[in-house]
Amino acid sequence: MLVSDKEIGIDELLPLYYTRQVAENTFGFAKSSLNLLPLRVHSVETLRGYAFLSYLALLLSVEFQLNLRGLCSLQDALSAGHNQFCEVFGDDDVIPLEPSKQIKKIYSKLNLCGS
């Protein structure tokens, strides 16, 4: 049920209800998929920043899961990517090593460089 102290037209009620439902579903998904934890913050800016970064992470994870469908899970892709190494020469020169066959497939599915 939606409760408001403002007068709302009947034609506006259903869109408002669905907007609330989308927000609840998004936070539910974020809590379960991204392990969103209760926050102990001291400012509204910190809360907004954390919520924004969590939302971006949620969007990226959903996009990656959709693109990886049929190849591997997001967790498998992250585990494989964890083994991608590089050589560092000085402060500014970084050369990634040749990716494995599995990582090349993941890069290709995600349209990332190195495919």
- Give the tens place of pLDDT for each residue, 31-84: 776 666 677 778 888 878 888 888 888 888 889 999 999 999 988 998 998 888
Q: State whether 11 and 54 are in the same domain.
A: yes
CB neighbourhood size of 107 (10 A): 17
Measured in degrees and rounded to the nearest 5, phi and psi for residue 20 equal -60, -40
Q: Which is more confidently placed, 17 or 63?
A: 63
Residue 23 has pLDDT above 80, yes or no: no
- List the end-to-end C-alpha distance of the chain, in Å, as a whole number: 50
Residue 82 belongs to some domain of the structure: yes
User: What are the E-state strand segments in the chain?
Assistant: 86-89, 93-96
Residue 65 belongs to some domain of the structure: no
Q: State whether 54 and 86 are in the same domain.
A: no
Q: State whether 24 and 55 are in the same domain.
A: yes
0.95 exceeded by pTM: no
Q: State whether 53 and 14 are in the same domain.
A: yes
Question: b vs e for 26-56, b when ≥16 Cβ sit within 10 Å of the residue's Cβ?
Answer: eeeebeeeeebeeeeeeeeeeeeeeeeebee
Question: pLDDT grade, residue 2 (50/70/90)?
Answer: low
Residue 64 belongs to some domain of the structure: no
Q: State whether 53 and 75 are in the same domain.
A: no
